[in-house]
Amino acid sequence: MITLRLQALLITGSLLAGPLVAGQQHLEDIALLESEHGAYSPVLPERLLSLGLALQEEGRHGEAAAVFKRGTHLARVSNGLYSTEQLPLLESEIRSLHALADYRAVDDRQRYLFRVQERALADPRQRAPALLQQADWQRQAYLLGLDEEPGQRLLQMWEFNRLALNDILEVEGERSLGLLPPLEGMLQAQYLISDLQWQESPGASSNHSFAQRTSLPHAGSYRKDNYKKGLAVLRAIYDLQRIHSDSDPAGPARALTMLGDWMLWHGEREEAVAAYQEAIGELAANADAQPVARELFADPVALPAVTGLGEQGLLPDGESGDILLEFAVTAEGKVAHLNRIDDNSEANGFANRLMRKLRRALFRPRFDLETGKPVATDNLTVAYDSKL
């Protein structure tokens, strides 16, 4: 019987070695239900969900994942192949598998979850969050390097975000701030796509700006399509921020800065500087926005300045570390005069990799907020922690 299998799981996890916890009550409830209704009672999946969540709360993710998987099977048997009752069980199982760092199993269950979502969720209000979650998993799977041919992950990431965007448009209209998450996901996808053909290993960015690679075979047509899609996404983000500028006056300037970053990343320096200067002008007109202006332009910013791309900060916030580098960032956003000034020989490998990355890196340069012009930043001394 199911209860015997679950009890075996709990015993191996040493539950019985300590005080009874909530999971024991759930086991007793399940045993009673089985005796009254049989091993395939339609109420069992809900009880298995509760038991799994209790185990998950205790950090016993291996046992929880097994309980959730059994509950999913019973929900499928009782309620149909694509029943919505499976969804909370599958989502909970995925959380436990993720906690166990069993990413292959996560990927397998994500695929099954999407098959159920695709059939079960007819309401776009429910479907859009599911699509965004699937898009984010494609991003994670790409960065984890799960595939020998990872490009399909990024195409799926783009497509899931696009479908979520359409659902939100249908329900909330073109002025909704709810459109920002899928648009930002689409921008993430385009940044990762821009780097895909020249990456050093699957899921790991080479940190070459796209402009540095346009001399490679077939780069011209690839660059054009990628660049246009990113521009379209960023202009949509800017339009939304402009509509809602009463509630967030700095929103349009942030969007213009993102647009400038995309242009600079693709080697369109004059257009990038113009976008940055427009952002600075908008912020200068609002006295309350001066902290934002300093945040965006008072120091160099490593590109791409987009969260979720798996890049470690090239200018970390911390002031301590065992690797100490000195360099400049030119007005064009390139690293110059890079030198190592610590004597920690035990971290030579890390330091050499970091310095190679910095030499290839591209930065949004510092701007003089009075003149609106990009300026060089000399004598940067930055500490890095090789143990992070």
pLDDT of residue 311: 62
HSE of 199, CA atoms in CB hemisphere, 13 A: 20
What is the model's pLDDT at position 263? Answer: 97
How does pLDDT run across 340-352, given as a tens digit for each residue? 999 989 999 999 9
227-242: string of b/e by CB count within 10 Å (b at 16+)? bebbbebbebbbebbe
In whole angstroms, give the CA distance from residue 219 to residue 216. 6
51 to each of 8, 13, 90, 118, 259, how far by Cα in Å?
14, 14, 14, 27, 48
At residue 29, the pLDDT reads: 63
pLDDT for the residue 314: 81
Q: Give the per-residue pLDDT at 183.
A: 97
Contact 222/197 with Cβ under 8 angstroms?
A: yes
Per-residue pLDDT band at 6 (split at 50, 70, 90) = very low
Token pair of 352 as six digits: 């050499």
Residue scoring higher pLDDT (313 or 53) = 53
Segment 194-204 mean pLDDT: 54
**Residue for token pair 């759930």:** 26
Question: What's the pLDDT score for residue 150?
Answer: 86
Higher pLDDT, 334 or 387: 334
Conformational region of residue 308, where left means phi above 0, alpha means psi within -120 to 50, and beta covers everything else: left
pLDDT single digits (tens) 257-300: 999 999 999 999 999 999 999 999 999 988 888 899 999 999 99
30 vs 80 pLDDT, higher one:
80
At 156 the three-state DSSP class reads helix
Position 33 scores a pLDDT of 66
pLDDT at 222: 56
pLDDT at 16 over 70: no
Averaged pLDDT for residues 49-62: 92
Residues 229-258, mean pLDDT to the nearest whole number: 96
Burial class of 53 by CB neighbour count within 10 A (0 to 12, 13 to 18, 19+): buried
Q: Prior bond to 374 cis, omega within 30?
A: no
> With b meaning 16 or more CB within 10 Å and e meaning fewer, what string describes 298-320?
ebbbbbbbbeeeebeebeeeeee
Q: What is the mean pLDDT of the chain?
A: 86
Please state the rounded mean pLDDT for residues 183-207.
71
Task: Average the pLDDT over 146-161 and give the result.
Answer: 92
> Does residue 216 carry a pLDDT above 60?
no
Mean predicted confidence (pLDDT) in 64-90? 93
Least confident of 42-46, 82-86, 159-163, 365-369: 42-46
- Would you state the pLDDT for residue 203? 41
pLDDT, tens digit (0-9, with 9 covering 90-100), for 352-371: 999 999 999 999 999 999 99
